[in-house]
Amino acid sequence: MTDTQGTNMLGCYGHPELRTPRLDRLAAQGIRFDRAYTCQPVCGPARSALFTGQFPHTCGSWANSMPLGAITRTIGQRLHAAGIHTAYIGKWHLDGSDYFGAGQCPDGWDPAYWYDMRNYLAELSPEERLLSRKVEANRNPGVQREFTFAHRCSNRAIDFLGRHNTEDFLLVLSYDEPHGPFLAPEPYASMFRDFTYPKKANVADPLTGKPEHQRVWAGSALTADAAKMEIRAPDYFACNAFVDDEIGRVLDAIDRFAPEALVVFTSDHGDLLGSHRLWNKGPVAYEEAANIPFIVRWPGQAPAGAASRLPISHIDVVPTLLDYFGQAPLSMLEGSSLLPCLRDPDVRVNDAVFIEFGRYETDHDGFGGLQLMRAVCDGRFKLVINLLTSDELYDLDRDPEEMTNLIADPDSAAVRDRLHDKLLDWMNRTRDPFRGYYWERRPWRTDTHPATWACSGMTRQRVVEPGEPQQLDYNTGLEIRETTRIK
Which amino acids are annotated catalytic? 43, 93
Whether 295 contacts 265, CB under 8 Å: yes
Q: Are 305 and 340 in contact (CB under 8 A)?
A: no
Q: Where are the alpha helices (DSSP H) in 30-100?
A: 43-52, 56-59, 75-81
Nearest to 415 by CA among 372, 377, 374, 373: 377
The torsion region of residue 368 among left (phi > 0), alpha (psi -120 to 50) and beta comes to left
Would you say the C-alpha torsion 238, 243, 248, 249 has a positive or negative sign?
positive
Helix, strand, coil percentages in the chain from 3-state DSSP, rounded to 5: 35, 15, 50
In the chain, the largest separation of any two C-alpha atoms, in whole Å, equals: 72
3-state secondary structure of 25: helix
Q: In this structure, what are the phi and psi dihedrals at residue 310, rounded to the nearest 5 degrees? A: -80, 145
Of 244, 239, 223, 234, nearest to 197 by C-alpha is 234
Residues near 326 by beta carbon (within 8 Å), at least 6 away in sequence:
none
DSSP class of residue 322 equals: H
Concatenating the DSSP letter of every residue in 181-231 gives: T----TTTTTTTTT--BPPPGGGG---TTS-HHHHHHHGGGGGS-GGG--B
